[in-house]
Amino acid sequence: MKNEYDVIVVGAGPAGSIAARFAAQEGVSVLMLEKDRDVGYPVRCAEAINKAGVEMFIKPDYKWITADVTKFSFTAPNGKEVVLEFDSVQGYVLERRIFDYELAKTAAAAGAEIITRAYVNGLIMEGGKVSGVTMEYRGEKKEIRAKIVIGADGTESRVGRWAGLQTHIDFRDMESCFQVTASNISVDPNTLYFHFGSQVSPGGYFWIFPKGKDTANIGLGINGAECKKRSSLSYLNENLEKLFPNASILTQVAGGVPCSVTLKKISGEGIMLVGDAARQVNPLSGGGIASGMIGGSIAGRLAGEAVKKNNLSHIFDYDKEWHKERGKTHEIFNRLKEGIYDFKDEDFNKIMGKMLDLPPEKRTMKRLFMIALANKPGLLIDVAKVFLV
Ligand SMILES: Cc1cc2nc3c(=O)[nH]c(=O)nc-3n(C[C@H](O)[C@H](O)[C@H](O)COP(=O)(O)OP(=O)(O)OC[C@H]3O[C@@H](n4cnc5c(N)ncnc54)[C@H](O)[C@@H]3O)c2cc1C
């Protein structure tokens, strides 16, 4: 480890590794610091991702893919189930402890240095500009300088706050999640299952994402306002008891998912934020792996270019580029999320009923939202916008 780099990335999740890779590809010096012992572990994720989101950054490999997704199943509170089936693979359920590790290897191959057990505990600030990080490594305190610091430190990010960026998120937009990986269950290995309803997962959804036919990530997210009344764990236990009474629990994780629009400002003097730290999660689905990698790729490239051009203001283009690439679509997803926020059990029952009245070939995701938002004509245009692209 040197005392100075062009770019330092804090956090080696998917967003951090891709940022480090894209910066290193520009030929500048890059250091990525990860506080945990292992890149990719512990996993706090249900591990589902769309196919295109993976292929943009790494060749799909069954070393870290545990399921191909070809079907989505939606279950209403009254038990009615709608299954959307596709002719081709739409996405994957990953093994993130290997996936994240492989992504970090691509950053290393591009020239980035990576160090684990390196806990960043502050920023070096000079004249209002971020000029490096302070950290603890093997019991020693260190200061490492950098022209640009990229905060990829996840949902609980502190890097942005230290840099003076506004990182507050309304608790109503923070989904409180609890998940187990369970075995000795029986599921279709190619279907992602979603259950809705006030008794199942109020203000969110309950998921079963298969990892083979006898194992799955089973979890739920409930919105911040609901979890004041009853915890996500208590809902999960009840759902598990009902649907999978003989399940064996292999892992348990809890975590928050920021389901909001992206932060107003994701770059500043010497600082950029990517992934969950920037609130780049798709606010409708809660998926943040693919969009975090997209954010990371833009930030990493711009940071590398800025150093090469000797024009650090170049990083301010990041906000605009992200907005064009994904941020605008996330604003639409957020409006759709708000549109279904107050749905009652009867609404979900009605929607699934109407879907089941359609011939199977007419049951599509777009149609599902069209039916769901039929009483909110303004939002139908948004549905058309996101499902036509
Ligand atoms: C229960 C649950 C289920 C989810 N399911 C899905 C899903 O199915 N599909 C999907 O796309 N998304 C899902 N998500 C969201 C997804 O996990 C995140 O959006 C994604 O991991 C974000 O990537 P990231 O690189 O921004 O952050 P992270 O993956 O969180 O990585 C941040 C890294 O920074 C490190 N770090 C933090 N602070 C410091 C520090 N001070 N110093 C050094 N290192 C630090 C952390 O140790 C971590 O390794 C889920 C989230 C949860 C909680």
- Ligand 1, atom 37: closest residue by C-alpha: 153
Ligand 1 mean position to 155 CA, how many Å? 6
Task: Note whether 248 and 271 are same-domain residues.
Answer: no
- Ligand 1, atom 2: closest residue by C-alpha: 45
Identify whether 53 is part of a domain: no
> Which tokens is 184 given?
């000795």
Tens-level pLDDT at each residue, the chain (389 residues): 999 999 999 999 999 999 999 999 999 999 999 999 999 999 999 999 999 999 999 999 999 999 999 999 999 999 999 999 999 999 999 999 999 999 999 999 999 999 999 999 999 999 999 999 999 999 999 999 999 999 999 999 999 999 999 999 888 889 999 999 999 999 999 999 999 999 999 988 999 999 999 999 999 999 878 888 899 999 999 999 999 999 999 999 999 999 999 999 999 999 999 999 999 999 999 999 999 999 999 999 999 999 999 999 999 999 999 999 999 999 999 999 988 878 899 999 999 999 999 999 899 988 998 898 888 877 777 777 776 54
Task: Note whether 8 and 117 are same-domain residues.
Answer: yes
Task: Note whether 152 and 192 are same-domain residues.
Answer: no
Ligand 1 mean position to 154 CA, how many Å? 5
Closest to 21 in 3D by CA, of 65, 64, 58, 63: 58
Domain boundary among 258, 290, 314: 258
Identify whether 63 is part of a domain: no
pLDDT at 388: 56
Identify whether 20 is part of a domain: yes
Task: Note whether 133 and 224 are same-domain residues.
Answer: no
| Euclidean distance between CA atoms 215 and 206, whole angstroms | 16
pLDDT at 389: 41
Q: Which residues of 78-113 are buried (b: 16+ CB within 10 A; e: fewer)?
A: eebebebeeeeebbbbbbbbbbbbbbbebbbebbbb
Identify whether 54 is part of a domain: no
For position 323, which CATH number holds? 3.50.50.60
Task: Note whether 166 and 313 are same-domain residues.
Answer: yes
Task: Note whether 106 and 9 are same-domain residues.
Answer: yes
* Cβ neighbours, 10 Å, residue 260: 17
> Which tokens is 217 given?
């990530």
Closest to 349 in 3D by CA, of 195, 158, 134, 229: 195
Rg (CA), the chain: 21
Count how many domains the chain has. 3
Identify whether 50 is part of a domain: no
For position 184, which CATH number holds? 3.30.9.10
- Ligand 1, atom 10: closest residue by C-alpha: 287
Ligand 1 mean position to 199 CA, how many Å? 28
Identify whether 56 is part of a domain: no
Task: Note whether 150 and 117 are same-domain residues.
Answer: yes
Identify whether 62 is part of a domain: no
Task: Note whether 12 and 104 are same-domain residues.
Answer: yes
Task: Note whether 75 and 140 are same-domain residues.
Answer: no
Task: Note whether 30 and 112 are same-domain residues.
Answer: yes
Ligand 1 mean position to 290 CA, how many Å? 11
Task: Note whether 206 and 282 are same-domain residues.
Answer: no
Domain boundary among 211, 236, 258: 258
Name the residue range of residue 367's domain. Answer: 337-388
Task: Note whether 160 and 107 are same-domain residues.
Answer: yes
For residues 321, 324, 325, 326, the Cα torsion angle rounded to the nearest 10 degrees is: 120
